[in-house]
Amino acid sequence: MSDNLFMIRFLFKAVNYFKRIILFHYFKFHRNIKVGKGIMFHNKPLIHIHKGALLDIGDNVTINSKNLGYHVNMYSRCKLMADRDGAIIKIGNNTRLHGSCIHAIEKIVIGKNCLIAANCQIIDGNGHDLSFSNVSNRINTIGNSKPVIIEDDVWLATGVIVLPGVKIGKGSVITANSVVNKDIPEMVIAGGNPIKILKEFP
């Protein structure tokens, strides 16, 4: 029984290894997707990059869509989406992304050494305009966008929502299930909905 279990585990690891290799080489030959050295994919993410957009992933980045072994429940795979001309997603070296969505209409930049826990939503645009002058046409609108900047060493706990136009300063921590609707300075713990500064560090 133990030999069979060992063989099953070995086969799963081998299949996942080859999936990562195939995915990595697919990216290498994709003109508008750049990947650095040592990138790690755990299970296949959902990736949709418009032919006029750019996905730029740095060195030693982990993109984890594997629920098993992760410390909270992950509701979905990682999703990286830049679906308009000129849209940019940039992820810095050593950053870890777990079961979260990054959707860029214009520009989302995530710095180095960031921790993005499961079920976070990082978006730089609204799905639709408010259209109060013609609410019947709201369904046909596509909304505006403002760039999102997450600086180096930021930690987003599980379930954080980062809204358009926000900048999160270096080293800051955003607590679980917070909604970031305004700029957050460096070296603070912030949380809540609406978000507020909970503690500052020198």
Residues with a catalytic annotation lie at: 128
Contact status, residue 188 vs residue 178, Cβ threshold 8 Å: no
Contact status, residue 76 vs residue 57, Cβ threshold 8 Å: no
Output 15-18 pairs: Cβ under 8 A, ≥24 positions apart: 16/42, 16/43
Contact status, residue 124 vs residue 107, Cβ threshold 8 Å: yes
Q: Could you give the 3-state DSSP secondary structure of residue 98?
A: strand
Classify residue 127 by burial, with Cβ atoms within 10 Å: 0-12, 13-18, 19+.
exposed
Element (H, E) at 3: helix 2-28
